[in-house]
């Protein structure tokens, strides 16, 4: 009996080492990497369900590529006043919560979450609202840039902090005056800038023309799930993103992710899918009603 238990333990250990780089040197996740570049851990999301939903989504994506691995990267994009990544960082090394344990890395802007054979890399980041009412995601940085500054200055600040600037699609946010602002931005094509598609966009909608314009300017298009702050949105976590080639060290994954993104020469492949028309319409109605309610207060 003891021999059987030891054998099972060795097999589990071998599987873990195979997925994270073996016994020599620092552990790592070998590519391809499944990366959701637009993630929110809302107060209505329980930590355990948040991690489990992400792991389930990444496992489905890996199976489509013929891989049994359960791992992926969640890029946090926290709005003003939200500090869930900092809260999770304070839980690193504590007893597992709902089966999930959190581990520190050698960076302040990354964490590793584990449960059994599932490994999630958590990367700090912010969602900034520029004075033009356009959003900028600051990926792979634990700094907190100010809201309501000019778009160009915001992008420069994120770059100076070592982060990755991403302008995500949002329904109606790339139209009219703001669309023209983005077209002017693309003429300058700041180094290290990305655009991003959104898993909340209805699949029936044609891709925004600005995404094609971004590619023509050498600004590559990423993808993220952007779950909204409703409890039934938690299955969206990790459900839409990009597939990146390259390894991620579990000691400095944020640095590795920045390096991989900076070396892209075309749009990365995607995994997951868009929202259905009914889901998209329902979500937009909820967002509109909430905005009206907030305005009346």
pLDDT band at 289 (very low <50, low <70, confident <90, very high): low
Q: Tokens in use for 64?
A: 């489509």
**What pLDDT digit, counting tens, does each position of 243-288 carry?**
999 999 999 999 999 999 999 999 999 999 876 656 666 666 666 5
**What pLDDT digit, counting tens, does each position of 195-211 carry?**
999 988 887 778 999 99
Task: State the Cα torsion 28-29-33-37 to the nearest 10°.
Answer: -60
What pLDDT sits at residue 171? Answer: 85
Question: What is the rounded end-to-end Cα distance, in angstroms, of the chain?
Answer: 66
Spatial CB neighbours of 35, under 8 Å, sequence gap ≥ 6: 72, 73, 75, 241, 242, 243, 244, 257
What pLDDT sits at residue 280? Answer: 62
Structural domains in the chain, sorted by start:
27-296 (3.20.20)
pLDDT beyond 60 at 13: no
Spatial CB neighbours of 13, under 8 Å, sequence gap ≥ 6: none
Burial label for 139, CB within 10 Å (0-12, 13-18, 19+), is buried
What pLDDT sits at residue 287? Answer: 62
pLDDT band at 297 (very low <50, low <70, confident <90, very high): very low
pLDDT beyond 80 at 21: no
Q: Tokens in use for 110?
A: 């990354």
Q: What is the mean pLDDT of residues 233-246?
A: 95
Q: What is the mean pLDDT of residues 112-138?
A: 97
Burial label for 284, CB within 10 Å (0-12, 13-18, 19+), is middle
**What pLDDT digit, counting tens, does each position of 51-72 carry?**
999 999 999 999 988 887 889 9
**What pLDDT digit, counting tens, does each position of 79-106 carry?**
999 999 999 999 999 988 889 999 999 9
What mean pLDDT, rounded, does the chain reach?
Answer: 87
């Amino acid at each position: 009996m003891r021999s059987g238990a030891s054998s099972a333990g060795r097999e589990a250990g071998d599987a873990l080492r195979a997925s994270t780089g073996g016994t020599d040197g620092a552990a790592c996740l070998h590519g391809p990497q499944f990366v959701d570049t637009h993630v929110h851990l809302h107060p209505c999301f329980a930590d355990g369900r948040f991690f489990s939903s992400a792991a389930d989504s990444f496992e489905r994506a890996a199976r489509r590529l013929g891989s049994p691995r359960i791992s992926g990267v969640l890029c946090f994009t926290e709005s003003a006043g939200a500090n869930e990544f900092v809260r999770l960082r304070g839980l690193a090394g504590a007893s597992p919560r709902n089966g999930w344990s959190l581990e520190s890395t050698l960076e302040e802007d990354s964490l590793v979450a584990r449960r059994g054979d599932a490994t999630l890399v958590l990367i700090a980041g912010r969602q900034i609202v520029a004075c033009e009412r356009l959003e900028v995601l600051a990926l792979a940085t634990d700094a907190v840039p100010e809201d309501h500054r000019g778009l160009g200055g915001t992008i420069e600040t994120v770059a100076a902090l070592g982060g990755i600037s991403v302008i995500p699609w949002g329904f109606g946010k790339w139209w009219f005056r703001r669309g023209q602002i983005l077209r002017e931005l693309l003429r300058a094509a700041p180094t290290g800038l990305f655009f991003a598609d959104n898993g909340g966009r209805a699949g029936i909608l044609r891709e925004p023309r600005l995404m094609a314009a971004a590619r023509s300017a050498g600004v590559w298009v990423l993808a993220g799930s952007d779950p909204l702050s409703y409890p039934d949105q938690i299955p969206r976590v990790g459900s839409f993103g990009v597939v990146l080639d390259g390894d991620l060290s579990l000691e400095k994954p944020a640095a590795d992710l920045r390096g991989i993104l900076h070396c892209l020469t075309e749009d990365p492949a995607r995994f997951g899918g868009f929202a259905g028309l009914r889901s998209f319409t329902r979500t937009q109605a909820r967002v509109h009603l909430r905005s009206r309610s907030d305005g009346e207060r």
